[in-house]
Amino acid sequence: MSSEDTSPDAVREGSPPSAGDGGTARPLPPRRLALLAAAAVTALALDLVTKVLVVARLEGEPPVRLLGGALYLVVVRNPGAAFSLATGMTWVLTLIAVGVVTWIVWIAPRLRSPGWALGLGLVLGGALGNLADRFFRAPGPMRGHVVDFLSLFAPDGSVWPVFNVADSAIVVGGASLVLMALLGREYDGSRTRDGEATRTGREATR
């Protein structure tokens, strides 16, 4: 007989276990706050640096053709959402972005999934990058126009709306969150099937 106490009381006193395929307890994954922070800081830094560079060197200049015309660099001041959507709703978009940032900061200490941490970190960094423009660029706080400068296949955004690094981070981060949901991965490191197995086990003991 093992000396380890596996009684229900002992399990409750320790860290909350997650159910495995056999119904046995296993330790929780480590927290992923550092990964989220690293992704957010990287996305934010790249967005801020690229915007400063293009505004200083390209604003008022003809579009720069790259990759044989697959990509153009052209500075556009965007009052709308990502990819130049919802123009004329600048202050509403600012409030929505503040809400998204607040929610991510609130959930961050609970993250135990690397995929969720990476995805939310990219969304956080992208949202902060565009929020910086909303607050600190003309025409004023909460009404500032976001700097976009990446245009695909045409210099005027006629093929695809002009965007920036922050928009790209938000899209990639959002796509990774959708993938995590489709794979049944929860933000706390558990899987959907683990939760179903736990509920099935509880119903069987009733």
Catalytic residue numbers, as ranges: 148, 167
Please say whether the beta carbons of 166 and 47 come within 8 A: yes
Contacts of 78 (CB under 8 A, 6+ apart): 84, 87, 145, 146, 147, 148, 162
Q: Are strands 18-19 and 71-78 parallel, antiparallel or unpaired?
A: unpaired
Q: Rounded CA gap, 110 and 30, in Å?
A: 10
Q: Rounded CA gap, 154 and 129, in Å?
A: 25
